[in-house]
Structure 1
Amino acid sequence: MEIAVESGVRPMEMGVGMGKNQTLICAPIMADTVDQMVELMHKAKFKGADIVEVRLDHLKSLDHRPDIEVLIRQCPLPTLFTYRPTWEGGEYNGDEESRFEALQLAMELGADHIDIELKAAHEFMNFTRGNKPEKCKIIVSSHNYEYTPSVEDLGNLVARIQAAGADIVKFATTALDITDVARVFQITVHSQFVDRQVPIIAMVMGERGLMSRILCPKFGGYLTFGTLEEGKVSAPGQPTIDELISLYNFRSIDTDTKVFGIIGKPVSHSKSPKLYNRAFKEDGINGVFVHLLVDDVNKFFDTYSSPDFSGFSCTIPHKEAALARCDEVDPVAKSIGAVNCLIRRLDGKLFGCNTDYVGAISSIEIGLQGSQNGATHTGSPLAGKLFVVIGAGGAGKALAYGAKEKGARVVIANRSYDRARDLAELVGGKALTLAELSNFQPETGMILANTTSIGMQPNIEETPISKEALRNYELVFDAIYTPKITRLLREAQEAGSKIVTGVEMFIGQAYEQYERFTGLPAPKQLFRDIMADY
């Protein structure tokens, strides 16, 4: 598999003779007391973890032998004992001899794994004189909380960890860009499938490194970490056990799994993984759909150029830049000037299309008709309507194009008048600044469509137009679906307008994307059922 394309890096090739998913899910156990830890261990088993990491440094006090005996004896899962010092991102601030004694005791009393930092490994090995039970595996770890080193430096790091006496290699780096993850994938694949070295745990911390945690089984990782509860993490960017198993279908990921994802900034709010991963599972598709926090579209596609990275949804603010990156573009998307769906063909080339306008326009037509049929035999209910689009980005272009095609008169309102004017000229419409919108009241019965992020979580009290001005609109649509009812929609309802939520557009645009991704009919009722709670 080709992942990284950068100076001095040879693209990786995968796909022959690889194993199935043997990657463990490890739950970090962090609590003030031993009793609380034991309770959390049983919770971890119930949730589906394979192993627990016992973070001794989080205990308020530790009576070495009796406490460690209880933790091992009462744990329903295999154990990994960690006693992380503050100098490596942990909570322990005592002397090293006491720390080493606790880890040695854990080994002797039946721990399955212990974790010692690379900086302390030599000293620890001398302390134990190299004696350890055969059952216990020593993980030697290194954490970089600042950045992700080069492939060469990561390779050297793995060699130093091995030389320190590791049974299992572990390193964690920090993602400054999502492309940093590719270097870690390269090292993991090379270690497991080329050199056949010791098992490796390799993570990239932070939101940009999320896929390193989800795709461990694809690239040969020994384990990944899943938290018991959202927000209670032992390192930045950890998903929950529930998310790994139920959202990302972690147990089904293997070396042949195709990777799909939503490209955006921000992107963590997107519900796309909920739709596609559930549908993949029900349709028997060996694929996983992940959140991809992308800063630079060109850099992303240069790096993840393999056919194994098979398809992408695209959201704010990358829809126009993604179009420029495509090798082939659907004529409608080319007219709109933006794509929201990209398919990687077997030859590595990217095909782009736009499903936004179909999802949005059809949901607005249905809202106007008050039925599930949308347009009537006499044509679209949008014909002749004054259709005001807020925003001149990718989604704004899609809505403006779709409204024009349905016979509406289009007005573009945007913070930048120049961008509004450019789009208005393309669709034969009128341009306004956003500041002028509240005073724009040429007629009643208009349609308003917000395609910007104004009002999206966490800024839910923002709105692009005054409540008073909303009385002139028959229907108000908001492309945002987090929250489902934005301030704009709430105030539109109060002003007497019909409303259409971004959930309707989201579901509508997802139908065609799923069919593009898989070649199968979209599970329309399933998508509606999943989104019913949003």
Structure 2
Amino acid sequence: MGRIITPVRVKDVTIGEGAPKIIVSVTGRTPDELRTQVDALSGRPVDIVEWRVDFLAALDDTPAVTDQARTLAARLGGRPLLATCRTSHEGGEATIEDDAYADLVVALAESGVVDLVDVEYRRDERAVERIVAAAHARNVAVVASNHDFDGTPAKEEIVSRLRAMQALGADICKIAVMPRTPADVLTLLDATRIMHESHADRPLITMSMGGLGVISRIAGQVFGSAATFGMVGAASAPGQVDASELRAVLDVLERSR
């Protein structure tokens, strides 16, 4: 059995209770592309929409970014909105200094329309602390994240990173790693189990990327992962599964438990 986890509730979605929640990303570079991607989510089993802000062509125009957040939120039909500016350090599109990164994410947290913000926990410590404080002041949940495209760290290192995110005050702790062998996938899953059973008091999101790691996206709940990323249309990360197929498998696993 795991420790007692304090769930995170955003709108009508509770992360950390029941079956893992499905998060789908939208990555449009223009308002028209984003509108098309959001409209394609209608009727699909999507619990949370992640807006990958780093893809936006107008990324350096903060008022335009927050205006786009309002437009997106209005089209989501009540689904929670997670705003993520993924930087080039962690596989994203944005090349941005720490202060500018913090300014942008704080502005999104303070926009009044974003339900969760992602923060790369290995950015400058002061920038991270500023984002967490600003988000919590507005009752916006913080997803601390780390993405390792170079490989899969040792089990102890994965647990250490997740514990560091928790110590920063993140509401949800997320890590994604790249496997080279099936053993790497097992490493990620067992690290998730250890964190969930021995250290976590809040939800985790963990995944092994690529085709080799797909099992972690569909069976992570067995080991303690509270959400997973699926796709509607094009994938935003390697190894994502169509949201409808993902929901079917997650439901089978949840019933069996």
TM-score (normalised: structure 1): 0.42
CA shift digits 1:292-312 (9 cap, x unpaired):
xxxxxxxxxxxxxxxxxxxxx
Q: Following superposition of structure 1 onto structure 2, how do residues 469-488 of structure 1 map, counting pairs within 5 Å? A: none
Change (3 A) 1:104 1:236: same
Q: Which blocks of at least 5 consecutive residues in structure 1 are unaligned?
A: 1-13, 258-534
Q: Classify the secondary structure of the residue corresponding to 1:245.
A: helix
Change (3 A) 1:191 1:45: farther
Aligned: 1:46 with 2:43 = yes
In 2, are the aligned partners of 1:121 and 1:140 still within 8 Å (CA)?
no
Which of 181, 185, 191 is equivalent to 1:181? Answer: 185
1:91 alignment partner AA: E
Task: Report the CA distance between 1:45 and its aligned residue.
Answer: 4.0
Aligned: 1:57 with 2:54 = yes
Aligned: 1:234 with 2:231 = no
2:19 alignment partner AA: Q
In 2, are the aligned partners of 1:80 and 1:113 still within 8 Å (CA)?
yes
Q: Classify the secondary structure of the residue corresponding to 1:114.
A: strand
Q: Classify the secondary structure of the residue corresponding to 1:254.
A: helix
- Distance across 2 between alignment mates of 1:38 and 1:186: 39
- Distance across 2 between alignment mates of 1:121 and 1:140: 13
In 2, are the aligned partners of 1:20 and 1:254 still within 8 Å (CA)?
no
Aligned: 1:110 with 2:113 = yes
Aligned: 1:157 with 2:161 = yes
2:91 alignment partner AA: G
Task: Report the CA distance between 1:227 and its aligned residue.
Answer: 0.8
In 1, are the aligned partners of 2:159 and 2:194 still within 8 Å (CA)?
no
CA shift digits 1:404-453 (9 cap, x unpaired):
xxxxxxxxxxxxxxxxxxxxxxxxxxxxxxxxxxxxxxxxxxxxxxxxxx
- Distance across 1 between alignment mates of 2:222 and 2:132: 37
- Distance across 2 between alignment mates of 1:250 and 1:95: 39
1:244 — aligned with what? 246
2:122 — aligned with what? 119
Task: Report the CA distance between 1:52 and its aligned residue.
Answer: 0.7
CA shift digits 1:241-276 (9 cap, x unpaired):
132134xx322313955xxxxxxxxxxxxxxxxxxx
Q: Which blocks of at least 5 consecutive residues in structure 2 are unaligned?
A: 6-15
- Distance across 2 between alignment mates of 1:171 and 1:197: 16
1:166 — aligned with what? 170
In 2, are the aligned partners of 1:218 and 1:255 still within 8 Å (CA)?
no
- Distance across 1 between alignment mates of 2:80 and 2:42: 10
Change (3 A) 1:142 1:196: closer
In 2, are the aligned partners of 1:219 and 1:255 still within 8 Å (CA)?
no
Task: Report the CA distance between 1:43 and its aligned residue.
Answer: 2.1
In 1, are the aligned partners of 2:143 and 2:170 still within 8 Å (CA)?
yes
2:99 alignment partner AA: E
Task: Report the CA distance between 1:134 and its aligned residue.
Answer: 5.1
- Distance across 1 between alignment mates of 2:140 and 2:128: 14
2:188 alignment partner AA: V
In 1, are the aligned partners of 2:231 and 2:241 still within 8 Å (CA)?
yes
User: Which gives a bigger RCO, structure 1 or 2 (Cα 8 Å, sep 6+)?
Assistant: 2
- Distance across 1 between alignment mates of 2:213 and 2:70: 36
2:10 — aligned with what? none
Q: Classify the secondary structure of the residue corresponding to 2:122.
A: helix
- Distance across 2 between alignment mates of 1:103 and 1:214: 30
Task: Report the CA distance between 1:20 and its aligned residue.
Answer: 7.2
CA shift digits 1:149-198 (9 cap, x unpaired):
12111121112222233111111111111122222222222333444422
In 2, are the aligned partners of 1:178 and 1:208 still within 8 Å (CA)?
yes
Change (3 A) 1:129 1:53: closer
Equivalenced residues, count: 239
2:154 alignment partner AA: S
Task: Report the CA distance between 1:240 and its aligned residue.
Answer: 1.4
- Distance across 2 between alignment mates of 1:101 and 1:177: 39
Q: Which structure is larger by alpha-carbon Rg, 1 or 2? A: 1
1:80 — aligned with what? 82
- Distance across 2 between alignment mates of 1:104 and 1:237: 30
- Distance across 2 between alignment mates of 1:176 and 1:128: 34
2:122 alignment partner AA: K
1:55 alignment partner AA: R
In 1, are the aligned partners of 2:52 and 2:85 still within 8 Å (CA)?
yes
Q: Classify the secondary structure of the residue corresponding to 1:135.
A: coil
CA shift digits 1:350-372 (9 cap, x unpaired):
xxxxxxxxxxxxxxxxxxxxxxx
Q: Classify the secondary structure of the residue corresponding to 1:237.
A: coil
Q: Classify the secondary structure of the residue corresponding to 2:23.
A: strand
